[in-house]
A and B are shown apart, each in its own frame.
Chain A
Amino acid sequence: MYLAPALVVLGGLLGYPIYQLGLISLFHYTQAQVSGGEATTFEGLGNYARLFGDEQFWQVLLATVVFAAACVVCTLAVGCALAVLLTRVRAVPRLALMLAGLGAWATPAVTGSTVWLFLFDADFGPVNRVLGLGDHSWTYGRFSAFLLVLLEVVWCSFPFVMVTVYAGIRAVPSEVLEAASLDGASQWRIWRSVLAPMLRPILVVVTIQSVIWDFKVFTQIYVMTGGGGIAGQNLVLNVYAYQQAFASSQYSLGAAIGVVMLLILLAVTLVYLRLLRRQGEEL
């Protein structure tokens, strides 16, 4: 019963919107229905049928999954590597690295995206000038545009991983690390066999966080590829949902996409937790 107040708050803040989302996704609900120009009709799973019948949805879904996976892997790799680096450098460089990381973290996504876009601008960007690429356009090709967005996403989300993992490493007793290096373990070996297993709960949290963030990426794609790139080649699920739901006022279809995203994220998280549990200890 002590849980009751928390449950009520959770139910109100989390349950009700999800319930509304699910409900809207079952109706034919566009601007005409919202403003009362036409009656709302129940469509059952009609929106989902339309969505799953749409070839573009599957392409976008695939692109989103691959893109999010790449972002998560890169973010974790960069974040963990820098966290280890932080423990091995002196105070001043450590402070500098921390501040740089926090700066990137604190930069609003729109600002960050605009700055990155400018760095890689075809006509005025310093990157092209330094690399001597002339007026090469980074946002024209599908993969180079995705790469550009990936760099920005990694840049603005690695500090969270870095700071969290760094805190975790600090909590590892130094005797353990000392013992490992006395046994002649390499830096990689120490990470692989000592730090990673001990930091597991932390790594689980940052991985799930990153998966959720990167799967839902919106601002970076929207700003950097101008709402989905040339001929929609850089669309991800969230931008696609926005295009369908708000720009085209097809709220019910947008809601259906939202429900599908929610289910995918839930499934990914559950499977991941399950796998970890099977491997060994409780979290």
Chain B
Amino acid sequence: MKLSARLVAAAAVLATAAACAPQTSGTSSSDKDEKSGTLRVWLFQEVNNKPKEQVVDSVLAEFEKAHKDTEVTVEYIPVETRAQRIKAAFNDPKSAPDLIEYGNTDTAGYVKDGGLADVTEEFADWSEAKDTDPTARQSVTVDGKVYGAPYFVGVRALYYRTDVFDELGLDVPKTQAELISTAKEIHAAKPELYGIAVGGAYTYGAMPFIWAHGGELATGKGGSYASAIDSADARKGIEAYTSLFGDDNCPAAKCAGMGGNDTVTAFASGKAAMAIGGDFSHAAVEAGKVKGKYAVVPLPGVEAGSIAPAFAGGNNLGVLKSTAHRTLAVDLMERLASKKAQGALFEGMGFLPTFSDVREQVAAKESFVKPFVETLAADTKFVPASPAWAQIDSSLVLPTMFQEVVSGKKGVDAAARDAAEKMNAAFGSAG
């Protein structure tokens, strides 16, 4: 009896062993290019999504009028689960959409996954593309090829409390050194306030400090990046940023664990005199206690009057490689990301256009975006266009580095060296 039971088990093992390699799905590009049918689009669900839907709907109406027998269905997917949704779409081309919105730091990763279609030629032929600003263009480019159209950009600047500055008779800081001393001055005068709210996990708020000091995250191009986070200049930036943590500004015990949203929340609820926030944080701050008591300026650089290079975040639109309606999908992408649509999207949602000329027009109309547009015009930088970036980001290499320094576990040199090692390992394995 026992023997036969074993036999059954052995047979079961053998049967399963027959399929001897983990599963993969073939997302080789689809050969079909149908000129009618249904196109499926995934866009991100924003906090207040109605205005976005209206802009999209008007584009779709025109699109459907221009192409007979075509229909477009749009699904707004939640931002929190987008990574899983999009991965799943790559895994199962049959139920995948034709066109997606995606975060611009994900471009290189999605290209490596084999998910996005190369639209270099169409992008070059697109009449409006020439006004796309260079950083936005860089955010859809991998190895010289274009994989989508920039949809909007997001950039961060310095929010500060006008009432606190007036009361203490302070000037708006013009250099990073002044920023740091002003922050400490405020905290000394008003201990219940953080001088400037900073977060150990707020990577995109910390990067301008590194860039302003002449440092880089990584150097190189295409397939061969090498980390530069441990260079002398980058270390100066890390030093400057981490000097803001401590009992004289933002106590490490509280601030080391904070991320970008936490710092904006602290500012909006009146717990901080300054914060680094994005144009997209405007609504949250307006809804907080400090409404009407704050202003925004570009984050200062090292030299007086200079602006620290900012991270150019934002979203892109991209056509999936597996689409069976390539021509139609590319056309829809260009319409959704057109100057007109981006202008309307700004009116409705406040998202900054990726075209330099459109951006200047809207800045003239809406004064609150001025500091952000100035920041964009000065200098913006982007994360390395490598699939390794997604891995570096999600394994928290940079937050870990800042937190190690802030909590006194490691010195700047040691922490930066370890972070560089981890980044290089990721660049090496993910290409």
Chain A positions near chain B (C-beta within 8 angstroms):
1-4, 7-8, 11-12, 15-16, 19-20, 23-24, 27, 29-38, 40, 122, 135-137, 139-140, 226-233, 243-244, 247-250
Interface string of B1-38 (1 = CB under 8 A from A): 10011001100110011001111111110000000000
Q: Smallest Cβ distance from A158 to chain B, in angstroms?
A: 29
> Which residue in chain B gives the minimum CB-CB distance to A229?
B257
Within 8 A of A (CB), among B371-410: 387, 390-391, 394-396, 399-400, 403-404, 406-407, 409
Q: List residues of chain B with CB within 8 A of the CB of A33.
A: 22, 24
Residues A232 and B252 in contact in the complex (CB < 8 Å), given A7-B5, A35-B114, A40-B21: no
Q: Smallest Cβ distance from A2 to chain B, in angstroms?
A: 8
A229 to B257, CA, bound (A): 8
Residues A250 and B391 in contact in the complex (CB < 8 Å), given A4-B8, A19-B16: yes
Q: Smallest Cβ distance from B337 to chain A, in angstroms?
A: 24
Q: Smallest Cβ distance from B282 to chain A, in angstroms?
A: 25
Q: Is B430 an interface residue (CB 8 A)?
A: yes
Residues A37 and B113 in contact in the complex (CB < 8 Å), given A4-B5, A122-B254, A137-B254: yes
A227 to B113, CA, bound (A): 26
Q: Smallest Cβ distance from B340 to chain A, in angstroms?
A: 34
> Which residue in chain A gives the minimum CB-CB distance to B402?
A231
B87: which of A8, A35, A139, A227 is its contact (CB, 8 Å)? A35
Query: A243–B394 contact, CB under 8 A?
Result: yes
Within 8 A of A (CB), among B398-425: 399-400, 403-404, 406-407, 409
A135: which of B17, B254, B407 is its contact (CB, 8 Å)? B254
Interface residues on B, range: 35 or more
A174 to B396, CA, bound (A): 58
Q: Smallest Cβ distance from A255 to chain B, in angstroms?
A: 9
A8 to B10, CA, bound (A): 11
Residues A37 and B27 in contact in the complex (CB < 8 Å), given A7-B12, A19-B13: yes
Residues A140 and B257 in contact in the complex (CB < 8 Å), given A4-B8, A37-B114: yes
Chain B positions near chain A (C-beta within 8 angstroms):
1, 4-5, 8-9, 12-13, 16-17, 20-28, 87, 90-91, 109, 112-115, 200-201, 252-254, 256-257, 387, 390-391, 394-396, 399-400, 403-404, 406-407, 409, 430
> Which residue in chain B gives the minimum CB-CB distance to A19?
B16
Q: List residues of chain B with CB within 8 A of the CB of A32.
A: 112-114, 387
Q: Smallest Cβ distance from B120 to chain A, in angstroms?
A: 18
A24 to B400, CA, bound (A): 29
A32 to B26, CA, bound (A): 11
A279 to B1, CA, bound (A): 32
B257: which of A11, A23, A139 is its contact (CB, 8 Å)? A139
Residues A230 and B114 in contact in the complex (CB < 8 Å), given A11-B12, A34-B24, A140-B256: no
Query: A8–B407 contact, CB under 8 A?
Result: no
Residues A247 and B253 in contact in the complex (CB < 8 Å), given A29-B22, A231-B400: no
> Which residue in chain A gives the minimum CB-CB distance to B17?
A19
Q: List residues of chain A with CB within 8 A of the CB of B399.
A: 231
Residues A1 and B4 in contact in the complex (CB < 8 Å), given A226-B257, A248-B390: yes
**19 extra interface residue pairs, beta carbon distance < 8 Å, beyond A31-B113, A38-B114, A140-B252:** A1-B4, A3-B1, A3-B5, A4-B8, A7-B8, A11-B9, A11-B12, A24-B22, A32-B112, A34-B25, A35-B114, A36-B27, A36-B90, A140-B256, A228-B396, A231-B399, A231-B409, A232-B396, A248-B395
Residues A1 and B5 in contact in the complex (CB < 8 Å), given A16-B16, A23-B20, A140-B257: yes
Q: Smallest Cβ distance from B251 to chain A, in angstroms?
A: 8
Q: List residues of chain B with CB within 8 A of the CB of A29.
A: 22
A36 to B30, CA, bound (A): 13
Query: A35–B394 contact, CB under 8 A?
Result: no
